[in-house]
Amino acid sequence: MTITIPQRNSLVQEYLWCIDSVIKQNYSLIQAARLDRDDVYQSLAVRLIRAVELYDPNNQAGKTLKNYIFMSLRYALRTCGGSQARYGFREAPYFLPNAVVSMEALEEADPYWEMRIAA
């Protein structure tokens, strides 16, 4: 199923409330993981857009769009803390295939970074 960008945007606006619902249901988990609520909201908003784009009623075995969105958002919530733990800095996207970090930032974070790469 292919949808146009205006259709996608309309569906995303219609289902934005799902993000608040997932955050509210899991707020204690978000606090325990020391995640910033705005960062979580942004990650879930990106996942909402992807869920609307990827939803295909023919391949979802009877799942409605709303159910698919909630399933996607709950999964995305579990991976929100991954960037911070994996890369050691906040506000990084979870998936960084072509990340670029300046030499100055590496030097500032770890003066011995060159030796670690060579090892």
User: DSSP state, 81?
Assistant: T
Percent above pLDDT 90 for the chain: 32
Report CA-CA distances (Å) from 42 to 48, 80, 107, 115. Answer: 10, 10, 29, 36
How confident is the model at residue 82, as a pLDDT? 54
Give the mean pLDDT of the chain.
79
d(C-alpha 99, C-alpha 109), whole Å:
16
Percent above pLDDT 70 for the chain: 70
Mean pLDDT of 11-36: 91
Q: Tens digit of pLDDT for each residue in 73-89? A: 999 888 776 544 444 44
How confident is the model at residue 23, as a pLDDT? 93
How confident is the model at residue 85, as a pLDDT? 44
pLDDT confidence band for 93 (50 / 70 / 90) = low
Q: Tens digit of pLDDT for each residue in 46-60? A: 999 999 998 887 876
pTM of this prediction? 0.65
CB 52 within 8 A of CB 71: no
